[in-house]
Structure 1
């Protein structure tokens, strides 16, 4: 029913949008920029990118190989989209120009609908103000403070898996267990709340997140077309944001529940001023906000929005990345054993009962290159849509062969031009990563990477880059380090009968699913044996 409503809504709006575009200036790209022919004026390439490909990013990779690193594609209703995997262009757009290239209005709207006006959703100076207040919660020293949380929950994860498989081992959907561990971690580290899903099973929040992620995967074609169709109509954006239909119903339910949680915590923190710090991110944020100038402080609405975005951003990204880490380790037993030996060597110095420090984790070369390579191969977001706030000229590191036979190293664009900064395309660009860019090869990180985007933790674009890069990347990396270490100390991972059917499912968010069975949700079936 929700799918039908979405189709009807998008269709009804099509004629109005077409007429609108006849009277308003929508920027177009120079005709000489190469790119694939559009299959549809109404949908452009949107449905192809999100639904008509067997794995996330596969279609874009073919386009880049055929047309070059920067190409022209089509959005809905004939709109020109510039898509690039060029390192120099991405560095310019994401790093060198501040807020001159902002997130697109439709993306900002969907994020506000999901969680409210939190850091991932807001733009411009509002984003700059929020990020300044938020930074102390994600500083390196604060992340070290959360190490005991990671390690305690990782041990809960180990025990839960042991209870599931018994002494002889068995097939396990590791994505399910990593998702529960991630949510428990965010609950405790984010706002001192115990979801306890590892020991008690899914809770209301985790169920809502499951439904939301399933909807944006299985119904992502209609979801994305409808969002793009509404991009020029602020009043219709407001109507959509308040309509409890389909995916939007999950957005609104999740937002309401997360607000209830964060409201209690914000109240408690405000009442405990001067009584010492609570050890969670939201309390750190509230205290940092109290020290700000009145004009720069976050409003109550902005504070409450942060919890929703913490849960939505952190839970699925960590769960899917961990699932892919153990997918590759199960397929590469020599590397799995090398990482396990490295962990044992560190334990020989620290002792088996000692909590590992951030320095211990960072010292493990094999562990970290496995994590870096998996992050490179599987960004949770395949692209970062941006819109130009001014006319500009974008430099290219890989010269473009135009359709009229010229070679150029820059592209003129107009204010309002939409650009897809493709994390997946850049992360697999042979000009950066070499001829084996499509292959999982952790050893590549033992050499210097050339022509890269300046981005956190290993110069892949998985955490984004620049002013809008992921502020919580250190938290995410330490979570991956902690859980990978704990799992390898306690279990051996091998492919199960279904592992070969796992693909990177195309959708608004990428997740591992079984080919032909994407509607069953995210899965990573592995055979797990206790050590």
Structure 2
């Protein structure tokens, strides 16, 4: 008995000692981090709201547009913001610094642990949930599939689905103008397009009489995640506690409606992805005759990827779980951002009827000239359509910012010097290891020093004449048209050509046949991970517009 008491006392003392030691180590580590970041405190920025959360609630607020606008107006291209417990972070819109972050030192400035862990939980180890060598190996297999040449093969699928949407809307408007939830239908058509051309699978989202658990899960994912912004910050600290089975068991008891929605959504996505994957794998094993009988006829992205994977060198191949990870990554990336961009274009055209009329006439004339649907090159040759797409993606990128973390010390040179809090001039910034920086996509896209004093205004005409020298001289490190909407470097959006083509095909069929105009309902846009329209006062993605049928032949 005495031995047991002695053992329990020893165990209690040992446990307490380990706990205290762990706390001391964490505190000392944080103090050391604060010391190494001391010079960052000299960079101007907004005051911290609290020691615990800093400015993070403002930075990630779904209604944070004014905060971001005022931050840039007051502090300029580089702003210090406060993270958890006094962690100094930088919001960066300087093109020279961003060139280093995205291109020159891209192996130093990686995606944050929170970003990687969230994407691994939601989508598996796909492109968005991997780093370093693993990410590069996956990208090597995927890049050829997203080439312009392969996009040309997909155009018939894009048109087939968009014609279905066109016919549905015509039926709805048979008795005249109607209020239509454009966001809902842009999401439906984007999901069906990526389903058939990306996975060789139909989600049947254009059929309102049918429901699909995968489609419902994908739609609820980001709204639910965006409603609990603190989750993305704490994921790195909790995602590796215990075994996967323990975490799945424990998370069921969290008293959060949005957490439970996330669990339900990821489970549905995982089950459907596995079903599609193993059906496709079985078809490939049976040979090409079986594959061509599937939706997509074997030309869909996943079929091509799986064949390329089989033929790749053994060291470059993806195991099944990585291929599965690409499926949900592909669907989500292609659906949410594209439907957001399309909804924004439709709203802007509604607010600018003269622009809408001019675009309509260009599309009607082109369809008459080419005798119907336009091919890949003809679509890209339409100057006003191109201008509207570019200007919308410049002024209103669906993703407004993205974080990076320095995996080791790095120096960032600046295009524009900073006037520090102590009055000195800063021309370059030492970013200490484990410091977070935000790639300020919208800040750079609408920088008046680059785009001129009307940089924040939506003006498609700016693309119909040569761009200012300031745009060319800025050397913006993006993969698309002197902007950062699709990022740049090794983690640039691999599917930006896919998205461009989809947007243009949908506009080319809908604008000639329907006039879009606003309703008496006010539309707000939530920032979130991907910006999304909602009816003022609501949190559900929605954007009602009045659609009026017109005769393009008249």
Per the TM superposition, whether the score is higher than 0.5 is yes
Alignment of 1:514 with 2:535, yes or no, is: yes
Deviation (angstroms), 1:233: 5.8
Q: Which residue of 2 aligns with 1:9?
A: none
Match of 2:542 in 1: 523
Q: Are 1:23 and 2:28 counterparts? A: yes
In 2: Cα distance, 1:509 partner to 1:202 partner: 24
Q: Distance in 1 between matches of 2:277 and 2:46?
A: 46
Closer, same or farther: CA 215–428 of 1 in aligned 2, 3 Å: same
- Contact (CA 8 Å) 2:283, 2:290: kept in 1 or not? no
Q: 1:330 aligned to 2:330?
A: no
SS of equivalent residue, structure 1 residue 211 = helix
Q: Distance in 1 between matches of 2:435 and 2:313?
A: 36
Q: What secondary structure does 2:412 align onto?
A: strand
Of residues 199, 203, 209 in structure 1, which corresponds to 2:207?
Answer: 199
Is the contact made by 2:117 and 2:236 (CA closer than 8 Å) also made in structure 1?
Answer: no
Give 1:299-310 correspondences, 5 Å limit: 299-310=319-330
Could you tell me which of 32, 38, 56 is aligned with 2:48? 38
Alignment of 1:59-78 (within 5 A): 59-78=67-86
Please state if 1:407 is matched with 2:420: no
Q: Which residue number in structure 1 is paired with residue 280 of structure 2?
A: 265
User: What is the deviation of 1:488?
Assistant: 0.8
For 2:142, what is the secondary structure of its paired residue?
helix
Deviations 1:87-114 (A, max 9, x none): 1111221122232211001110000001
Displacement of 1:123 in angstroms is 0.5
Secondary structure at 1:42's aligned position in 2? coil
Point out where structure 2 has 5 or more consecutive residues left out of the alignment: 1-19, 253-258, 293-297
How far the C-alpha of 1:226 sits from its partner, in A, is 2.9
Count of paired positions: 505
Does residue 387 (structure 1) correspond to residue 410 (structure 2)? The answer is no
Q: Where in structure 2 are the equivalents of 1:20-419 lying within 5 Å?
A: 21-24=26-29, 25-26=32-33, 28=37, 30=39, 31-51=41-61, 54=63, 57-200=65-208, 201-217=210-226, 219=227, 223-232=228-237, 235-236=240-241, 242=248, 243-244=251-252, 245-249=259-263, 250-272=265-287, 278-352=298-372, 355-419=373-437
Does 2:518 match 1:504? Answer: no
Where do residues 456-495 of structure 1 align in structure 2 (5 Å cutoff)? 456-495=479-518
- Partner residue, 2:255: none
d(CA) in 1 for partners of 2:291, 2:448: 52
SS of the counterpart of 1:81? strand
> Does the Cα contact within 8 Å between 2:214 and 2:272 map onto a contact in 1?
yes
Give the secondary structure class of the aligned counterpart of 2:525.
strand
What corresponds to 1:8 in structure 2? none
What secondary structure sits across from 1:102 in the alignment? strand
Q: Which moved more, 1:307-316 or 1:106-115?
A: 307-316
1:389: how far off?
A: 2.1
**Counterparts of 2:236 and 2:22, CA distance in 1:** 10
Q: Deviations over 1:451-486 (max 9, x none)?
A: 252323322222111110000000000000000111
Contact 1:95 1:454 in 2 (8 A): yes
CA contact (8 A) 2:100 2:412 kept: yes
Q: Judging changes above 3 Å, is the alpha-carbon distance between structure 1 residues 241 and 365 closer, same or farther for their aligned structure 2 residues?
A: farther
Find the residue that maps to 1:108 and give its secondary structure.
helix
Q: CA separation in 1, counterparts of 2:215 and 2:424?
A: 53
SS for the counterpart of 2:546 is strand
Q: Secondary structure at the match of 2:48?
A: coil
RMSD (Å), alpha carbons: 2.3
- The CA distance in 1 between the partners of 2:106 and 2:426, in whole Å, is 25
Q: Distance in 2 between matches of 1:312 and 1:441?
A: 29
1-structure distance, mates of 2:543, 2:301: 30
Q: How far is 1:495 from its partner? A: 1.1
